[in-house]
Chains A and B, each alone.
Chain A
Amino acid sequence: MKTVTLTLNKQPELYLECNDITPDAFAGKTPAEIAAIEIWEGKQKIPLGDFFTVEGSAGATPAETKIVVAGDCTRVKRIGQQMTDGEIVIESDVDMYIGGWMKGGTIHVKGNADSFCGIGMEGGELIIDGDAGHHVGAAPRGEWRGMKGGVIRIGGNVGNDTATFINGGTIVIGGDADIHISTHGEGGTVIVKGNAKGRVGGQMVKGEIYVFGTIENPLPGFKKIETVERDVEGVQAQFDHFIGDLGERHPKSKGQPVYAHLYVKA
């Protein structure tokens, strides 16, 4: 594994759209070639080297390439978009769409990430040490085929609309979640270690949600059927098991209706 270090050396007037800061785009390139990759500020294309100093070197393939992004990246968007392999470490807070549509590899954000991180995710691992904004691991606007796979771990709290239309994969939230979790969900798992505000699992037909704390406003479409013991994220505990959303359609599998499952720590 070879490492390229990018250091943001001035703040953009608008926001930088850096969907080509990926191991896929960097692999096999010299630092000079990497500095020549074009990024967007507003409607203008600018060489990456105008904003970042480029040090180190990229590996021959994405899998052998690690990118470290240093400097204050709160106005930088779309790092790691559609990446398939390799590793990215972002040392600071970062703006929207980090790891969007990622298929493989790892992204580690040491600060907070703004909205839309991990949207349309298909594989790989996205770790945010701090908080994340809205639409974490959600389907892109209009799309009904949401997150398919991979893991998203948020250390802190998240905003609204986590995991909308989730189909697969896992999202673990260390803190609290605002309204709307797994809306229209058809698979996958969301684990909230803190509290959830409300509208948890609305119109969800399949998949699982675990809430370690409380749900401030639970939906009437979920019905408690039992209390079970579960080992979740290394925590052994009793959970109240609900099925739902009873207001939705219930497809059948082997003659049995399929429901979404909501577990709330008893």
Chain B
Amino acid sequence: MSEIIIKNGFVFDPLQGIRGDKVDIAIKDGKIVETTALTNPKTIDAAGMTVMAGGVDIHSHVVGPKVNTGRLFRPEEKLFQNIKKTGSRMEMGTSIPSVYKTGYDYARMGYSYVNEAAMPPLHSPHVHEEIRDTPIIDISAMPVFGNNWFSLEYLKNNEIENNAAYTAWLLRATRGFGIKIVNPGGSEAWGWGLNCANIHEPVPYFDVTPAQIITGSIETNEYLGLPHSIHIHPNNLGNPGNYVDTLETLKLAEGYTAKNAFGRTQVMHLTHLQFHAYGGEGFNFESKVPEIMDYVNSHDNITVDIGQVTLDETTTMTADGPFEHHLRAVNNLKWANVDVELETAAGVVPFVYSANNKANAVQWAIGLEIGLLAKDPMRTYITTDHPNAGPFTRYPRVIKWLMSQAAREAQMDAFKHRDKVIDVTNIAGIDRELTLYEIAQMTRAGTAKALGIADMYGGLAPGMDADVAIYNLNAESMPSDAEEIEKAFSRCAYMLKDGIVAVKDGEIVAEPAKRTIWVDVKVPENAQVNRDIYEHFLKHYSLKLENYSLFEEHLHNPRVIEVNAAE
């Protein structure tokens, strides 16, 4: 394999503490190596440019049945727009791009890893088929647990070992990555047309509370020692006043410390915090970000991602069935909603976020406040909960807003209800502008650490995957026009995946092999759980146990992370 040396660039690698120094990055056989290991390398001159590891997205909805439902029911997104062929396959779509466009667009932004945020276990074959067809980027997928009948029953009785054995079985059956929890208890209650009003209200017919589900899941996760922590979309998404539930949810992590061999330090990742930081009532909701970020900043066993509203037309999709049904009544657009047997639910509704809408503008401000009030950018990450708050292709715009107060002010001046928005948020009083180092923390180093994959992704130390993004930004004389920042992060100068140049001058030039990352956990043999699984499939599932687990041919180019919890 060829050797490459990237010279003269400003390198930002928070995992090694490199803050814009001119460091040569050496690549051999797809890995980062010491420069002394090269004999006859090809040189990439990154003079005047910014060099970072490939981006690592901790939370995005890119593959699986609900994403595909969105693709199928929004043909209008492909009409007269975004249809092109520059890579080997056609690209189309906007908020829910085709699998090919998804891979290409992430690569063009310099990303090399995406964690799919919600895999319905029953439909894992579909998830893995789309992982296979999404080019270039490595993908992991988290099966959804928080409303699963097995888990609800084990956690009600505080049977952590049994829940752990079931979790290990399901991760293997679905080739999954970690424990995702969506609206704990609420999505199951939705099977009866109900929801859980707060984290202490028992799930109907199950007699277990969302709080018990959450703490039991933390204990399960740390008992197993998984690379990632529990990854939770808490109760009451989008409801004004929900910051109380969010704080109570975060407090459930108190007293727990991370037990794992992967360098992860948090026990709870709370996702798309923007949707969960609302005070007030009805349409008069307000930002409670300072209260929440004070808590997050002072508790280092918690990580969060933003879920930034980008003020675009998009397509919402979550396993939070009751929330999506509520959204349908807000905008009267087309909608899809399903219950997934014993496991989860899902809904899909198109949504138009507008700068002319006060509520949407307040959401915009709340998201940015989270990024700007974060004291530890290694624990606060940039996402748009793609495509829920906006398409992932807007990350460069979010970075622009976080890095430039002038850009934020320009957006605020374009709001129809500017003054009212400023009244109920804190954004106008924040003059912080994030640095390139902090952006690298929020988009690769921090996310890789939280996912427990920082030995392979998110950094540029020898031995790690040679996934590198080179951006056309001169770190020593940053552009005065913030639009240049957005432009540079949208279309990187180079993106290397496993040491192969995949993107040059913002266009796809090669499509290196992509991988599926999953976690295989060894647990002690557990006869009770084996019997429970057998019985539930016999009595309650619509298919047989033998047909449930992913068939090997569905798994594409796997990279398995092995965990031993049997000792």
Contacts and interface: CB of A to CB of B under 8 A. Distances in A.
Tell me the interface secondary structure of chain A in the complex.
loop
Nearest to A141: B75
Nearest to B329: A249
Contacts of A13: none
Interface string A143-174: 11000000000000000000000000000000
Nearest to B333: A144
Interface string A38-51: 00000000000000
A143 B332 contact: no
A142 B76 contact: yes
A142 B74 CA distance: 6
Nearest to B350: A144
Interface in B344-361: 350
A140 interface: yes
Interface string B62-86: 0000000000011111010000000
B200 interface: no
B75 A142 contact: yes
Contact of A141 (B76, B333, B350): B76
Interface string A119-143: 0000000000000000000001111
Interface string B200-233: 0000000000000000000000000000000000
B42 interface: no
Contacts, number: 17
B334 interface: yes
B79 to A, nearest CB: 6
A143 B332 CA distance: 13
B228 to A, nearest CB: 36
Contact of B332 (A140, A141, A142, A249): A249
A140 B79 CA distance: 9
A151 to B, nearest CB: 23
Contacts of A143: 76, 79
Contacts of A140: 75-76, 79
Contacts of B76: 140-143
Interface residues of A, number: 6
B70 to A, nearest CB: 11
Contacts of B332: 249
Contacts of B77: 142
B73 A142 contact: yes
A141 B350 CA distance: 15
Nearest to B79: A140
A143 B73 CA distance: 10
Nearest to A143: B76
Interface string B106-150: 000000000000000000000000000000000000000000000
A123 to B, nearest CB: 17
Contacts of B73: 142
Nearest to B73: A142
Nearest to B77: A142
Interface in A217-266: 249
Nearest to A248: B332
A144 B334 contact: yes
Contacts of A142: 73-77, 334
A43 B185 CA distance: 51
Contacts of B350: 144
Contacts of B334: 142, 144
A13 to B, nearest CB: 25
Contacts of B75: 140-142
B344 to A, nearest CB: 26
A140 B334 CA distance: 14
A27 B449 CA distance: 60
A140 B77 CA distance: 11
Candidate in B76, B77, B333, B334 with the most chain A CB atoms within 10 angstroms:
B76
Nearest to B75: A142
B165 to A, nearest CB: 45
A141 B80 CA distance: 13
A143 to B, nearest CB: 4
Candidate in A141, A142, A144, A249 with the most chain B CB atoms within 10 angstroms:
A142
Candidate in B73, B75, B77, B332 with the most chain A CB atoms within 10 angstroms:
B332
B96 to A, nearest CB: 12
A249 B334 CA distance: 14
A143 B77 CA distance: 9
A141 B334 CA distance: 12
A258 to B, nearest CB: 13
B73 to A, nearest CB: 7
Interface in A54-112: none
A140 B332 CA distance: 18
A144 B332 CA distance: 10
A144 B333 CA distance: 7
A100 to B, nearest CB: 10
Contacts of B79: 140, 143
A143 B232 CA distance: 34
Nearest to B72: A142
Nearest to B332: A249
A142 B73 CA distance: 6
A192 B334 CA distance: 28
A143 B76 CA distance: 5
Contacts of B74: 142
Interface string B20-44: 0000000000000000000000000
A260 to B, nearest CB: 14
A144 B334 CA distance: 8
B546 to A, nearest CB: 39
- 6 A-B pairs with the lowest CB-CB distances in the bound complex, closest first: A142-B76, A142-B75, A143-B76, A141-B75, A142-B74, A144-B333
17 contacts: A140-B75, A140-B76, A140-B79, A141-B75, A141-B76, A142-B73, A142-B74, A142-B75, A142-B76, A142-B77, A142-B334, A143-B76, A143-B79, A144-B333, A144-B334, A144-B350, A249-B332
Given A142-B334, A143-B79, 10 more contacts: A140-B76, A141-B75, A142-B73, A142-B75, A142-B76, A142-B77, A144-B333, A144-B334, A144-B350, A249-B332
